[in-house]
Structure formats: structure tokens, C-alpha cells
Amino acid sequence: MTEQRIHITQGEYATASVPDVYISTLLGSCVSCCLWDPVAGVGGMNHMLLAKSPAATVRTLSGIHAMEMLINDLIKQGARKDRLSAKAFGGARMIKGLSDIGSQNAEFTVGYLSQECIPLVTQSLGGTHARTLRFWPATGRVMQKLTDTRVVDVETAPVAAPGHGVELF
């Protein structure tokens, strides 16, 4: 049987209850929260860009919106909030010298889960590497791969001359 992949990006979430479906994403400073109800066999993952939204136009990228949308969709599919468990990933500091939005995203996620009494059973937050995730929502299984992308010091990073050293696809 071939597994089916659902890929999500910033501001998106996905849920599923089929064992051969997994949800994937790529994270830098963003955070993804994987929630699942093992009794109902349903789960989902979101991709949060910002802990808090600075304007109504980016509300869908904020943490509170992402968490509420994911939890509400899981409940519609038969999950119960008191049976949910969580795994959280991301929140890396990707560019040295700029604000550390990654740690703000991680702090929001941990705080939100604590406030809502949802146990955080696994976390891989912070650091300086991007992460690729695969989450099987029916079982709660997660695979994480740290990428070779490390923190970049914007003050000392070399600047390529226009048209040299950059390949677009």
C-alpha cells in the first residue's frame, strides 16, 4: 500500500484519520504542533508563522488561530480535547542578529498547550537548524530530519554578485 502525503506550509493545517496518510512540512523559525487522539484515531498538524499576529491581515498565520482551527477540526472528526496529546517542533533561530521569532513561537506553543491542559509528550524546539517533519495523524508517529541549513550571521555572510552563485528553479 502506498502512503499518501499531505504537505502544509505557513498558516495551513491538515487532519486525517487514515493510517497510510502522513502530513509533512518544512520548518525554520515556524512551529508545528502535532495533535492526536489515540482513541478516535485522528490527528492533525499545523504550521504557525507567528506567535501573535501584528495585523488582522495575517491572522491565519498566528499561533492562536492555528491552534483553534486544528483543535476544532479534530473535534469535528470525533476527537475529544481531554484525550489529545501533542508533539511540537521548530522554533529555530535561523538568522543571527535579527529578532528571535523562533523562540517566541516555541514559547507560545508550550504555553498554549499548558493552558489548555493538553500534554506535550515530545518536543524538539529551538536550535539553529531547519527541520523536515512527517506526522502520521492516525497513530501520532512523527519523523524529524534536521537539515544542513544552519543559522546565518547576516553581518558576515558573503554577498553573491548579481547573476553569480545563484541558481533559480
Q: 3-state class of 48 per DSSP?
A: strand
**Burial level of 52, CB count in 10 A (0-12/13-18/19+)?**
exposed
Choose the catalytic residue: 30, 33, 34, 117.
Answer: 30
Cβ-proximal residues to 95 (8 Å cutoff; 6+ apart), any chain: 151, 152, 154
Helix (H, G, I), strand (E, B) or coil at 37: strand
Is position 34 annotated as part of the catalytic site?
no
Catalytically active residues, by annotation: 30
